[in-house]
């Protein structure tokens, strides 16, 4: 542990012109006395370190000093080379390979042996990602602002940012910088950037906090989901969450419970399992999956597009046909449905809604509580039932005291001789 700290202190001093003992103590989470002992140890190792007292003083390495590579073990050098090689996989250049060759000159024995660590940080978006990384690196080095079009879950925007760090986290690349729009430090995902440019306008360095990239900070979990998966989905659960993420049930299915922060990502992930996943909780996720599945069903059943309102009205009318006495008319930007001249529901936007009655609550337990917007009556958005018999029974019970339909008067029969 001490050796790692000594190398770390030396690395800091090589990068910074001057540093104080309190700064080093805070960085390495040790006391000032420990830092003083470490500085003495480095001096005994032959590293020319100078200390200056008073205002403007500190610890520094004498000008012209370069670290002797023999301070690093063979294993240390192998890890450094693996890291450098991984950066070339992102940039698509040979800069880091050339740097590795410089480190290896005259040290074939020092870094001998086959490479045991291979790191590839490139992604499917390497062709578009590499130029972005290069541009952001240049902007950081030159202290120039960048501008870009950004796509976020909350919408699109054009941002200007003072960039400070390139960050690789959660298998993606980000830029950490001061956002002039939000007046705060923000993290931007490179794959969501478009029209990225470096501006001529420079900026004065700010006191930059290190980004808190803990999962709890960035992705605070607030959705507890409980899902039962089919046995053949086990490999995916193990790969993505580890072997302890589920409980095997008596029937062989897998009970999975996890906390999520992003509802859209959760829904997308669950849909990739198709019918191999059954959501038990929460009800809101079950309802949204059902609506998504219905939308997909309409797309593939109706020639590649969602039903228009008129098509949807015809579809509902077909389901209610066994009742008779059903009438529907266009009104208020949608279609209203009547049963024996009593309003039962309507088509609004791209869904079917029924009047709020005890019968609708019983037959449509997935009804949302809010009233459908822009309607003169309380209509509850709900799923369209495939079971037309169940739908008809619900409509009958919505108005149980309605009189029976009037019998139609028989028309006057024409005699055959009445023909032309």
Q: Tell me how far apart the terminal alpha carbons of the chain are, to the nearest angstrom.
A: 112
pLDDT in tens, 37-59: 888 888 887 788 888 877 778 88
> Does residue 231 form part of some domain?
yes
CA distance 82 to 116: 9
Q: What is the CATH number of the domain that holds 363?
A: 3.30.1460
pLDDT recorded at residue 113? 47
Asked if residues 411 and 330 have their Cβ atoms less than 8 Å apart, the reply is no
Pair 239, 181 in one domain = no
| Angle at CA of residue 79, ends 77 and 80, nearest 5° | 65
Pair 377, 314 in one domain = yes
Of the candidates 76, 81, 79, 43, the residue with the CA atom closest to the CA atom of residue 59: 43
pLDDT recorded at residue 198? 95
Asked if residues 59 and 22 have their Cβ atoms less than 8 Å apart, the reply is no
Of the candidates 287, 353, 289, 355, the residue with the CA atom closest to the CA atom of residue 316: 353
Q: What is the CATH number of the domain that holds 55?
A: 1.10.10.10
State which of 301, 332, 367 marks the end of a domain: 301
What residues contact 281, with CB distance under 8 A and at least 6 apart? 224, 225, 226
> Does residue 81 form part of some domain?
no
Domain range enclosing 275:
221-301
> Does residue 411 form part of some domain?
no
pLDDT recorded at residue 375? 52
> Does residue 150 form part of some domain?
yes
Minimum mean pLDDT range among 86-95, 123-132, 219-228: 86-95
DSSP 120-161: ----TTHHHHHHHHHHHHHHHHHTEEEEEEEEETTEEEEEEE
Residue 111's pLDDT band (boundaries 50, 70, 90)? very low
Q: What is the mean pLDDT of residues 51-72?
A: 70
Structural domains of the chain, count: 4
Pair 199, 225 in one domain = no
State which of 48, 67, 86 marks the end of a domain: 67
pLDDT in tens, 250-296: 999 999 998 887 788 888 889 999 889 999 988 888 888 887 876 67
pLDDT recorded at residue 176? 92
Minimum mean pLDDT range among 18-22, 173-177, 269-273, 369-373: 369-373
**C-alpha to C-alpha distances, 110 to 7, 70, 106, 155, 245, nearest whole angstrom:** 18, 9, 9, 53, 43
Strands annotated E in 340-383: 342-348, 351-355, 379-382
More confident residue, 397 or 334: 397
Pair 267, 315 in one domain = no
* Radius of gyration for the alpha carbons in the chain, expressed in angstroms and rounded: 34
Pair 288, 257 in one domain = yes
Pair 385, 313 in one domain = yes
> Does residue 116 form part of some domain?
no
State which of 17, 33, 67 marks the end of a domain: 67
Pair 289, 316 in one domain = no
| Angle at CA of residue 308, ends 304 and 314, nearest 5° | 110
Asked if residues 395 and 357 have their Cβ atoms less than 8 Å apart, the reply is no
pLDDT recorded at residue 80? 63
Which range is most confident: 235-244, 348-357, 374-383?
Answer: 235-244
Question: In the predicted model, is pLDDT for residue 213 greater than 90?
Answer: no
Q: What is the mean pLDDT of residues 193-216?
A: 83
pLDDT recorded at residue 261? 74
pLDDT in tens, 356-378: 777 777 776 665 555 555 555 56
Q: What is the mean pLDDT of residues 138-158?
A: 90
> Does residue 74 form part of some domain?
no
pLDDT recorded at residue 99? 55
> Does residue 96 form part of some domain?
no
Asked if residues 113 and 148 have their Cβ atoms less than 8 Å apart, the reply is no
CA distance 234 to 236: 5
pLDDT recorded at residue 10? 78
pLDDT recorded at residue 23? 87
> Does residue 114 form part of some domain?
no
Question: In the predicted model, is pLDDT for residue 109 greater than 80?
Answer: no
With b for 16 or more beta-carbon neighbours within 10 A and e for fewer, the 99-135 pattern comes to ebeebeeeeeeebeeeeeeeeebebeeeeebbebbeb
CA distance 26 to 104: 34
> pTM value?
0.46
């Amino acid at each position: 542990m001490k050796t790692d700290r000594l190398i770390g202190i030396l690395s800091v001093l090589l990068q910074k012109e001057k540093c104080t003992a309190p700064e080093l103590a805070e960085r390495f989470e040790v006391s000032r006395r420990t830092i003083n002992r470490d500085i003495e140890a480095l001096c005994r190792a032959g590293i020319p370190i100078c200390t200056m007292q008073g205002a403007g003083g500190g610890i520094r390495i004498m000008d012209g000093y370069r670290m002797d590579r023999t301070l690093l073990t063979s294993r240390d050098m192998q890890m450094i080379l693996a890291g450098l090689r991984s950066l070339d996989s992102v940039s698509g250049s040979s800069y880091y390979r050339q740097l590795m060759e410089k480190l290896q000159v005259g040290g074939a024995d020092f870094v001998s042996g086959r490479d045991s660590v291979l790191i590839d940080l490139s992604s499917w978006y390497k062709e578009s990602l590499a130029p972005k990384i290069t541009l952001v690196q240049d902007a950081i080095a030159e202290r120039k602002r960048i501008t870009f079009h950004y796509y976020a879950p909350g919408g699109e925007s054009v941002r200007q940012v003072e960039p400070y760090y390139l960050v690789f986290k959660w298998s993606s690349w980000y830029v950490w910088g001061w956002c002039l729009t939000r007046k705060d430090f923000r993290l931007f995902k490179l794959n969501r950037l478009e029209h990225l440019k470096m501006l001529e306008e420079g900026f004065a360095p700010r006191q930059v906090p290190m980004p808190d990239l803990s999962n709890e900070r960035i992705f605070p979990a607030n959705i507890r989901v409980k899902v039962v998966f089919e046995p053949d989905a086990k490999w995916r659960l193990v790969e993505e969450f580890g072997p302890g993420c589920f409980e095997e049930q008596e029937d062989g299915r897998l009970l999975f419970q996890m906390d999520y922060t992003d509802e859209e990502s959760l829904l997308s992930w669950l849909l990739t399992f198709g019918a191999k996943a059954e959501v038990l909780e929460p009800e809101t996720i079950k309802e949204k999956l059902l609506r998504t599945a219905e939308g997909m069903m309409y797309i593939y059943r109706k020639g590649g597009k969602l039903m228009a309102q008129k098509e949807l009205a015809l579809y509902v009318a077909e389901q209610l046909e066994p009742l008779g006495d059903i009438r529907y008319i266009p009104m208020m930007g949608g279609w209203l449905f009547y049963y024996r001249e009593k309003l039962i529901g309507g088509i609004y936007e791209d869904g079917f809604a029924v009047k709020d009655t005890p019968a609708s609550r019983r037959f449509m337990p997935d009804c949302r509580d809010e009233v459908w917007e822009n309607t003169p009556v309380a209509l509850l958005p709900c799923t369209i039932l495939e079971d037309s018999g169940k739908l008809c029974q619900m409509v009958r019970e919505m108005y149980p005291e309605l009189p029976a339909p009037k019998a139609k008067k028989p028309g006057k029969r024409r005699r055959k001789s009445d023909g032309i």
